[in-house]
Amino acid sequence: MSPTETTPLLSARGLRKSFGDQEVLKGIDLEVRRGQVVALIGPSGSGKTTVLRSLNGLETPDAGTIAFDGGPEVDFAAPRAKAQRFALRDRSAMVFQHNNLFPHRTVLENVVEGPTRVQKVPRAEAIAEGERLLARVGLEEKRDAYPHELSGGQQQRVGIVRALALRPDLLLFDEPTSALDPELVGEVLVVMKELADEGWTMVVVTHELQFAREVADEVLFLDGGVVAERGAPAQIFRDPQGERTRRFLDRIL
Residues at the contact surface with ligand ADP, assessed by CB under 6 A: 19, 24, 42, 44-50
Task: Count CB neighbours of 19 within 10 A.
Answer: 10
H/E stretch holding 12 reads strand 10-19
- Rounded distance between C-alpha atoms, residue 224 and residue 45, angstroms: 7
The distance from CA 80 to its chain's CA centroid, rounded to whole angstroms, is 25
CA distances from 27 to 23, 113, 227, 231, 247 (A): 10, 36, 8, 18, 23
Nearer to ligand ADP, 76 or 112 (CB): 76
Nearer to ligand ADP, 154 or 156 (CB): 156
CB of 27 to ligand ADP, least distance (A): 15
Nearer to ligand ADP, 118 or 252 (CB): 252
Nearer to ligand ADP, 53 or 142 (CB): 53
DSSP-derived letter for residue 73 is: P
CA distances from 208 to 88, 186, 214, 244 (A): 27, 10, 10, 18
Residues in the chain: 253
CB of 199 to ligand ADP, least distance (A): 27
Nearer to ligand ADP, 46 or 110 (CB): 46
Q: Degrees (nearest 5) of the Cα angle 55, 60, 66? A: 40
CB of 53 to ligand ADP, least distance (A): 8
Q: Helix, strand or coil for residue 249?
A: helix
Nearer to ligand ADP, 64 or 115 (CB): 64
